[in-house]
Amino acid sequence: MKISGAHIVCESFLKENVDVVFGYPGGAVLPFYDTLYQYDKIRHILVRHEQGAAHAADAYARVTGKVGVCIATSGPGATNLVTGIANAYLDSSPMVAITGQVARPFIGKDAFQEVDITGITLPITKHNYLVMKASDLPEIIKESFYLARTGRPGPVHIDIPRDVFTELAEFNYPDKVTFPGYKVKPQGHPTQIKKAAALINAAQQPVILAGRGVLVSNATGELKELVEKAQIPVITTLLGISCFPESHALSFGMIGMHGTAYANMAVDAADVVIAIGMRFDDRATGRISGFAPRAKIVHIDVDAAEIGKNVRVNVPIVGDVKHVLKSLNPLINESSRFAWITQLECWREEHPSTDIRECDGILPQYVINKIHEVTGGNATIVTGVGQNQMWSARYFWYNKPNSFISSGGLGTMGFELPAALGAKIGRPEENVWCVAGDGGFQMTIQELATIVQEKAAVKIAIINNGFLGMVRQWQELFYEKRYAATPLWSPDFVKIAEAYGIPGLRVTDKLQVLPAIQQAMEYDGPFLIDFVVEPEENIYPMVPPGASLAEIMEEPRETVHMGKNSSKHISNL
């Protein structure tokens, strides 16, 4: 029996176990929405801007491990998805984005709401399709989901003309896909794995650099086994956060521009760097020529093109992290590496990057710290981009995989609110906190309405410093405090929340921080807190742009131990 293209899409969704889609209707996708209306099993979440649909699908994918799906109409609907698709591409998030297109006879005629969206998404997708026949849909959708989630995950975009949605075709969903040119090689070459093992066993001062690939490949257990067997300190990238419990004695924080001092010092001193599921982003490595100058590098990544792209590698292993670690771990000798670990612990004592200075006003670090305290660390933190992101990365300790959701590669301000929505939809039982800056929050503020409509109990913490904080910090440090276009007026966020039907609090007194977070947690529903923080607080340490990790700038002021922070590790030894 023949069914319409729109039905084929919905039936294919069911085959792929899609139960949630994020989208926004419009002319070209109208036939699809009319059909989707009949499918009770597929929950459609109406965002307020298509960018929000893409970010929500991205975050949904990150917390569930499923493929996130977003839908938009042709033209402006499709172009509004672009930032979200690029975000998913750079952070290797599995996503299928569906756009409507003008009917086939109108393609290329500059028709109303026509844009060459496959031309636009070509360099920001793993693959994309313009569907010219309804009978091609089953195969294309099967391929798209397969590509999105296998190998190095990423977004796949399908552009479907309006009249393909209405065209009738047989629905036979293929069992498997055939790609002559797409090979996923998960195993890793045995010879290379042996070489890596020999290098690791002989290492005196090894470090592990763990990235998002560990989370994607579900290899947190294998990583822990390797770490404990060989006693190798673990340092994560920004997106690697939560792939290894931060309460673990061998967890040494984050590498990079705003990483911990001791992590960066350890990488600088290491004789072997074992990079696992990470891609040597410039924000992580600092100046490449000064990166890990003493180290031989083992690089495990499923994407062959990442090997040797930025950093010279001594032992490349192309493969899925989980598979490779399973083969590697038995070849690793048990070891104590007592001297090296003691050295790192000393550095951590001498450069306690997680301490918070004494201050009468509210420090952003203090706010994040208190969210950790109230939630007991039992929360998924979804951040914006900039200072709020770095404070969230550093002053909350992540122990559960995929509990830190952030825009790493693209650095998309405005990611936080729609992503928190997507995370909450994916993890309804979990505490989901959206940590936003006052700048980024206003980029996608309209998704408050979606949160209310979907009854998503997202807790929102705005770190309100009245500036575009990270840019201001650079202006302070590198542009002689010329604050060009960074002072930021904002509306009364509590009143805004109220207008959306979300209760909120404005917190200006340090003593109110803790009770406000408690109140938010106790409230059954979304809740917003506007934390008015010290306006010119900087995030330290910082590796200045163009400097190597060894040239880290630490906080110039006196720091005071706050008890909890320094006891983080000690209590877990």
Partner 1 sequence: METKIHTLVALVRDKPGVLNRIASLFRRRGFNIDSIAVGPSVETGLSRVTVGVSGSDAEVEQVRKQWEKVIDVVKVSDITSEPMVTRELALIKVKASRVERSEIIQIVDIFRANIIDVAHDSLTIEVTGDGNKLSSLYILLKDFGIKEIARTGRIAMTRGAGKPL
Contacting residues toward partner 1, per CB under 8 A: 118-119, 122-123, 126-127, 130, 147, 179-182, 303-305, 307-309
Q: How far is the CB of 492 from partner 1 (least distance, A)?
A: 44
Residue in 243, 300, 291 with CA at minimum distance from that of residue 268: 291
Report the residue number, 131 or 270, with the smaller CB distance to partner 1: 131
Amino acid at 557: R
CA gap 197, 541 in Å, rounded: 33
Q: How far is the CB of 123 from partner 1 (least distance, A)?
A: 5
Torsion sign (Cα): 68, 130, 409, 472: negative
Report the residue number, 10 or 313, with the smaller CB distance to partner 1: 313
Report the residue number, 58 or 159, with the smaller CB distance to partner 1: 159
Report the residue number, 130 or 542, with the smaller CB distance to partner 1: 130
Q: Between the CA of residue 564 and those of 356, 361, 372, 561, 567, what are the distances in Å?
A: 10, 19, 11, 8, 5
Q: How far is the CB of 189 from partner 1 (least distance, A)?
A: 15
Q: Are 527 and 460 in contact (CB under 8 A)?
A: yes
Residue 275's region, left for phi above 0, alpha for psi from -120 to 50, else beta, is beta
Backbone angles phi, psi at 388, to 5 degrees: -60, -35
Amino acid at 164: V
Q: How far is the CB of 307 from partner 1 (least distance, A)?
A: 8
Q: How far is the CB of 152 from partner 1 (least distance, A)?
A: 9
Report the residue number, 303 or 555, with the smaller CB distance to partner 1: 303
Report the residue number, 146 or 340, with the smaller CB distance to partner 1: 146
Residue in 284, 287, 234, 238 with CA at minimum distance from that of residue 257: 284
Q: How far is the CB of 195 from partner 1 (least distance, A)?
A: 19
Report the residue number, 163 or 303, with the smaller CB distance to partner 1: 303
Q: How far is the CB of 349 from partner 1 (least distance, A)?
A: 41
Q: Burial code of 405-430, b = ≥16 C-beta within 10 A, e = fewer? A: bbbbbbbbbbbbbbbbbbbbbbbeeb
Burial (0-12, 13-18, 19+ Cβ within 10 Å), 186: middle
Q: What DSSP state is assigned to residue 334?
A: P
Report the residue number, 301 or 530, with the smaller CB distance to partner 1: 301
Q: How far is the CB of 39 from partner 1 (least distance, A)?
A: 29
Helices assigned H by DSSP within 150-219: 162-166, 190-202, 212-216
CA gap 157, 175 in Å, rounded: 21
Report the residue number, 152 or 372, with the smaller CB distance to partner 1: 152
Q: Are 243 and 236 in contact (CB under 8 A)?
A: yes
Report the residue number, 118 or 465, with the smaller CB distance to partner 1: 118
Report the residue number, 107 or 332, with the smaller CB distance to partner 1: 107
CA gap 301, 217 in Å, rounded: 10
Residue in 436, 404, 406 with CA at minimum distance from that of residue 529: 436
Q: Which residues pair with 532 in a beta bridge?
A: 464
Six-digit token string for 80: 């509004």
Report the residue number, 126 or 370, with the smaller CB distance to partner 1: 126
Q: How far is the CB of 302 from partner 1 (least distance, A)?
A: 11
Task: Please give, one letter per residue, the 3-state secondary structure of 118-135.
Answer: HHHHHHHCCEEEECCCHH
CA gap 86, 99 in Å, rounded: 15
CA angle 291, 198, 228 (to 5 degrees): 80
Q: What DSSP state is assigned to residue 165?
A: H
CA gap 159, 251 in Å, rounded: 44
CA 151 to chain centre: 18
Q: Count of residues for the chain?
A: 573
For residue 46, give the 3-state DSSP assignment.
Answer: strand
Q: How far is the CB of 178 from partner 1 (least distance, A)?
A: 11
Q: How far is the CB of 122 from partner 1 (least distance, A)?
A: 5
Q: How far is the CB of 159 from partner 1 (least distance, A)?
A: 11
Report the residue number, 34 or 303, with the smaller CB distance to partner 1: 303
Q: How far is the CB of 119 from partner 1 (least distance, A)?
A: 8
Q: Which residues pair with 20 in a beta bridge?
A: 43
